[in-house]
Amino acid sequence: MMDGWLTALLALSICAVLHLVSSFILHRKQNLPPGPLALPLIGNPIWLFKPLTQLETILRHYHSKYGPVVTLYFGNTPSIFIASHSVSHHALVQNGAVFADRFPVMETAKIITSNQHNISTAFYGPTWRILRRNLTSELLHPSRLKAHSPTRKWVLDDLVHRLHQAPGPVKLLDHLRYAMFCLATTMCFGERFDEKLIREIQESQRGVLLNITKFNDLNFWPPRLGKFLFKKRWEEIRQLRKRQDDCLLPLINKARQNRTTIKDKEAAGKAIPYVDTLFDLEIADNNDEKVKRKLVDDELITLCSEFLDAITDTTIVSMQWIMANLVKRTEIQEKVYKEIKEAMQNKEKNEEIEEEDLGKMTYLKAVIMEGLRRHPPGHFLLPHQVMEDSVLEGGYKVPKGTSVNFMVADMGWDPKVWPEPMAFKPERFLNDRSKGGVELEVDITGSKEIKMMPFGAGRRICPGFALGLLHLEYYIGNLVWNFEWKAAGEVDLTEIQENAVTMKYPLLAYLSPRPVS
């Protein structure tokens, strides 16, 4: 009897292996983009010796050998990596709908995304469209964003005050992080919270961002078996989420109890907080547009958490990179200050740059663009899943369901497009028109062509990219207008990968208040 079971088990194992091998061979015959040697089950042998943390370095080696479009295998699964501007535009813009889907998230990520009920991870379909449309039309519309100007000014005043009071060399990152969380929580919940609560929210959000990847190995186990064998570690993930729940749900409930209609708030000239737009929102149940339901509390928490991260994480990282370059290159900092001074000279009150003043500051905008090109906060996009068989520019076939990713940093550092790509040169974005003056020359959306895409491109472009640019211009401009920044030691631009690619050694600087003219 036992021999019979062993024979059956062996037969099933052989069948499984043969299926995997045949699947691998089928993929290899589909004229995918070129890449290194791959073996059934193993994929590229390099993964036996190199960790995934070296993926970017490995890809650069293979791109130099095989060209700007490369296929790597992780086990039997092919993944295509694109470092070509034109191929990226062909995929993301010209064939945007085909390349717009997402993959199912791993079991650990299901806990923090409410099973993919947020904008960044939702499958391309009705639920994603409803969530994204709500954000862009109900909150990010220019008229709605204008109503949040007093909050931006309040945050700026507090930030400048704290910097004035800070002793010795200032660790800018800490001040930026607190300021951006003040801004994000107010935009999300419509209320200004005390410092203690802001810190609690900040720590709960960063607790998830910095720690969730530590549990990735759990995803290689069948869910039921893994949750039984590793109960303690799964409980740690649940505690990360519970900490978020304990911070955010009371704020959501308070906003729900005290809310007035959006029309009434608009009539009174009040800003619309993000959470208010979610209470009456109806999404497609199980992605079926015919069956609608309201969001449950777990999904409200996830969407508010996503909003807080979007406002804070990459913006903070970009601000620090830009300020580090201005501290390192004092002549650029002085050019920014000189432009601001000229733009502000006819104002009666010039204590601060107002949002309306930013349109006059072309060089400041060029500095922001150069910061995003040279130091994009994400060196890759989230993987895109191809929704149907397609063909990339160059004739490479991409089967339905294939993973495609885009090398954001490498496109911004391509010497064929950007001369001296590793230098920080804002002037590369300026076009001197003899009659019309100096203009900024860049298409950040990539709609016409992709030269850089720190916010992505196509259907999945970051919906808040305009808000992100506004925050960078407004706060960077005012930091330079209020203070002269000098390095406290060497400014080290070494990178480290956290949730975003940030400075390994946070910026330390001495601040000298500038005279108010």
pLDDT digits (tens, 9 = 90+) for 465-514: 999 999 999 999 999 999 999 999 999 999 999 989 999 999 999 999 99
Written as one string, the DSSP assignment of 82-130 is E--HHHHHIIIIITTTTT-B-PPPPHHHHHHHTTT-STTTS-TTHHHHH
Q: What whole-number distance in Å separates Cα of residue 302 and Cα of residue 308?
A: 10
**What pLDDT score was predicted for residue 30?**
60
Which amino acid makes up residue 365? Answer: K
Q: What whole-number distance in Å separates Cα of residue 466 and Cα of residue 472?
A: 10
**What pLDDT score was predicted for residue 466?**
94
Q: What whole-number distance in Å separates Cα of residue 174 and Cα of residue 31?
A: 50
**Contacts (Cβ under 8 Å, ≥6 apart) of 193:** 182, 185, 186, 201
Asked whether the CA dihedral 133, 134, 137, 141 is positive or negative, the reply is negative
**What pLDDT score was predicted for residue 232?**
95
**What pLDDT score was predicted for residue 9?**
41
pLDDT digits (tens, 9 = 90+) for 273-292: 999 999 999 998 877 778 88
Instruction: Grade residue 270 by pLDDT with cuts at 50, 70 and 90.
Output: confident
Q: Mean pLDDT over all residues of the chain? A: 90
Residue, of 93 and 287, whose pLDDT is higher: 93
Asked whether the CA dihedral 193, 194, 197, 202 is positive or negative, the reply is positive
Please give the angle made by the CA atoms of 15, 19 and 20, to the nearest 5 degrees.
120
pLDDT digits (tens, 9 = 90+) for 174-222: 999 999 999 999 999 999 999 999 999 999 999 999 999 899 999 888 8
75 contacts 407 by C-beta, under 8 angstroms: no
460 contacts 488 by C-beta, under 8 angstroms: no
Radius of gyration of the chain (CA): 25
Which whole-number Å values give the CA distances from 195 to 115, 219, 462, in the listed order? 32, 37, 29
Instruction: Grade residue 258 by pLDDT with cuts at 50, 70 and 90.
Output: confident
Q: Encode 40-66 in three state secondary structure.
A: CCCECHHHHCCCHHHHHHHHHHHHHHH
Written as one string, the DSSP assignment of 360-393 is G-HHHHHHHHHHHHHS-S-SBPPPEEPSS-EE-T
pLDDT at residue 308 is higher than 90: yes
pLDDT digits (tens, 9 = 90+) for 123-145: 999 999 999 999 999 999 988 89
Instruction: Grade residue 433 by pLDDT with cuts at 50, 70 and 90.
Output: low
DSSP state of 192: P
